[in-house]
Structure 1
Amino acid sequence: MRLEQLQAFLAVAETGNFQQAAQKCGVSQSTISRQVQSLEATVGITLFHRQGNAKLTVGGDRLLIHAKKICQIWTTAEQELNDLRAGKQTELCVAGIPSACAYQLPPILQTFAKTYPNVQLRVTTLGSDRALKVLKDGLIDIAIVMNNPFLTASSEMVVEHLYDEKIQLLLPAKHPLSRKETLSWRDLHNCPQAVFKDGYGLQRLVQDQFNRQGISLNAALELNSLEAFRGVVKQGSLVALLPETFVVELIGEPDLVVRSLNEPNLTREIVLVTTSDRIQIPPIQYFCKLASQMIGQSRPTILKSAF
């Protein structure tokens, strides 16, 4: 049973005439007759009395209500797909790491909203691994995360590099290490730290670096908020390795000190990830272009003299 067969059946049922049904559908009468005959062969029952006007048989009358529902469902689905292709989606869901949501996304969201005022934006702060999982599950449209090739290697994933970002050390001003202008990774051996929770790419990056250096990471506290890191480090004896985008705003605070670590420099790659099917949808495509253009322009730079 094909859609065009049901459409031909409905046209004949509504007009009561094969010729008028053909005119309504914009095809020849022979095409309408062939579609109806094929439908009758499929269902195994005659659908019309053909003496004079085409009148529904008992079987045709039973099929009529179902055929209307099927064609209406298809019409609705077709309209929704056309709207999607034309960029008339109702919402766009973005997940991003904390620094992206706090610093990079606000101007992008504002610009996007001016171009697509009828698209509701939904933004969620998530760790990189979690954001990529919900993207794969179809719960969001775009993820701005720390790159994880193990999770983005699928052919369905579209990955665009945005920027590379240094990881800096945030310390309390009274911490013994704050008196040193130059710090090495060895200085952090067993030093109590506040770290991101599991599922955040930065936690994995830091742990891998400690492993490569052959030193122990003393993760005394797990957090998932940049402002929480600020408060914890400011009030206590913990240190934290945090993204440059965040710590640049803390330089000059009397209770905090920002330091770089000697070679090797620790950096992370920030990428935008969506899927090959979503990138074809105009609002999503536009958002991705905006992010690529605007994020590089909005990133702060830490001057070496600040240390």
Structure 2
Amino acid sequence: MLGENPLSAVLILAETGNFQDAARRMGVSNASLSRYVAMAEAQVGFTLFHRKRGNSGLTRKGAEFLPVARKLQTEMHACDRQIAHIRENNRQIVHIGCGPLTPRTLIKPALRKALQISPELRFRIAVDARQAPIEMLESNEIDIYVGDLTHTPEAENIELMMFEKRAVVFAAHVSHPLHKAGGVTLNEVFSHPFASPHLHKHWRAAVTQALGGTEEAAERVRVLPQVESDDYAFLTSLLEDDRLVVGGMPETFAELVAAGSVKLIETRPQITWNICAARKAGQEHQAIDLVWQQLRSLTE
């Protein structure tokens, strides 16, 4: 079986099609990435990528191997997770995956309630807008996922819980010129430097539609955001700059709004976010059940 680094190199390069971009995504040098790809090709016994300046697409055999590589990565993560469970020998640890908009809105209040009932609980929380939650649940990488699952295909062994739709808000420094205009359009919001977590294709489609659904709107959305990070502590720190607009949930900006340094921007139309929680069906783990019930209490 391929090692973790060669396998990751293959999958990331297949996604980016560019050695330099893939190396940056993986956090390694171009030389290291090339070495990992060469190791993978040596092990499988055939060439996976064309080597062209600026464009390193998959060969025919590479394209055939890609779903195998994805399956290998899923199985590798599942093995790592099972080994961790054996090592810990403790089901009081709950692994939660979530999108960047949920930690303060849902995860924090649910954990607070769960810890009041069971103070010995431990949590590991992975915040990443690029997660593939259903696959991670099925491979036992996470126990619960909380985030946008609106466009996720249904899975027979996954239990879903819907939360009330929430409106996404935009915030800027109190001296930002948008505050002088009162209610503003999304076109006006996105005419300023914009920062947010990763916008997956369904978010991009929703924003494009809100901007009119034209080719011009799609082109504007294509270059968003100007600053991308799933770390909201970093994103909110950017609001010290009176040029930037940051998108998120009201709870994200509550402390800054209360301190008077930041104001929410009234926009039209509003963009709503469909929030779900998901876990494997039929689980019988007391700690996971407890957290699930606390999440459920937030829907009532």
Common fold by TM > 0.5: yes
Q: Displacement, 1:182? A: 1.0
Aligned length: 206
Aligned residue runs from structure 1 range 157-172, under 5 A: 157-172=158-173
CA contact (8 A) 2:127 2:230 kept: no
Equivalent position SS for 2:95:
strand
2:180 match: 179
Go from structure 1 to structure 2 and tell me whether the alpha carbon gap of 1:177 and 1:112 turns closer, same or farther (over 3 Å shift).
closer
1:52-86 Cα shifts (integer Å, max 9, x gaps): xxxxxxxxxxxxxxxxxxxxxxxxxxxxxxxxxxx
1:12-45 Cα shifts (integer Å, max 9, x gaps): xxxxxxxxxxxxxxxxxxxxxxxxxxxxxxxxxx
Q: Distance in 2 between matches of 1:223 and 1:204?
A: 19
Unpaired runs of 5+ in structure 2? Answer: 1-89
2:152 match: 150
Go from structure 1 to structure 2 and tell me whether the alpha carbon gap of 1:114 and 1:225 turns closer, same or farther (over 3 Å shift).
same
Residue 92 of structure 1, aligned match among 85, 91, 94? 94
2:194 match: 193
Equivalent position SS for 2:182:
coil
Q: Displacement, 1:262? A: 1.6
2:66 match: none
Q: Distance in 2 between matches of 1:252 and 1:176?
A: 20
Q: Distance in 2 between matches of 1:107 and 1:219?
A: 29
Aligned residue runs from structure 1 range 199-278, under 5 A: 205-206=206-207, 209-210=210-211, 212=213, 215=217, 216-217=220-221, 218-263=224-269, 265-278=270-283
| TM-score (norm: length of structure 1) | 0.57
1:105-143 Cα shifts (integer Å, max 9, x gaps): 334324434545565432222226444442232201101
Q: Displacement, 1:168? A: 1.1
Go from structure 1 to structure 2 and tell me whether the alpha carbon gap of 1:219 and 1:100 turns closer, same or farther (over 3 Å shift).
closer
Equivalent position SS for 1:247:
helix
Go from structure 1 to structure 2 and tell me whether the alpha carbon gap of 1:117 and 1:246 turns closer, same or farther (over 3 Å shift).
closer
Q: Displacement, 1:156? A: 1.7
CA contact (8 A) 1:128 1:146 kept: no
CA contact (8 A) 1:95 1:131 kept: yes
Q: Distance in 2 between matches of 1:205 and 1:238?
A: 21
AA at the equivalent of 1:191: H
AA at the equivalent of 1:270: I
CA contact (8 A) 2:175 2:242 kept: no
CA contact (8 A) 1:196 1:202 kept: no
Q: Distance in 1 between matches of 2:258 and 2:248?
A: 16
CA contact (8 A) 2:94 2:124 kept: yes
Go from structure 1 to structure 2 and tell me whether the alpha carbon gap of 1:167 and 1:120 turns closer, same or farther (over 3 Å shift).
closer
Q: Distance in 1 between matches of 2:296 and 2:137?
A: 19
Aligned residue runs from structure 1 range 4-153, under 5 A: 89-113=91-115, 115-116=117-118, 119-127=121-129, 129-151=131-153, 153=154
Q: Distance in 2 between matches of 1:251 and 1:119?
A: 32
Q: Distance in 2 between matches of 1:271 and 1:128?
A: 16
Q: Distance in 2 between matches of 1:253 and 1:119?
A: 33
Equivalent position SS for 1:167:
strand
AA at the equivalent of 2:178: L
Q: Displacement, 1:193? A: 0.9
CA contact (8 A) 1:184 1:262 kept: yes
Q: Displacement, 1:252? A: 4.4
Equivalent position SS for 1:251:
helix
CA contact (8 A) 1:144 1:271 kept: yes
Q: Distance in 2 between matches of 1:258 and 1:282?
A: 40
Go from structure 1 to structure 2 and tell me whether the alpha carbon gap of 1:257 and 1:180 turns closer, same or farther (over 3 Å shift).
same
Unpaired runs of 5+ in structure 1? Answer: 1-87, 298-307
Work out which of the two has the higher radius of gyration on C-alpha atoms and give 1 or 2: 1
Percent same amino acid at aligned positions?
11
Q: Distance in 2 between matches of 1:237 and 1:227?
A: 18
| TM-score (norm: length of structure 2) | 0.58
> In terms of mean alpha carbon deviation, does 141-150 or 115-124 score higher?
115-124
1:147-170 Cα shifts (integer Å, max 9, x gaps): 23324x122221101222111121
Equivalent position SS for 2:225:
strand
How large is the Cα RMSD of the aligned pairs? Answer: 3.0
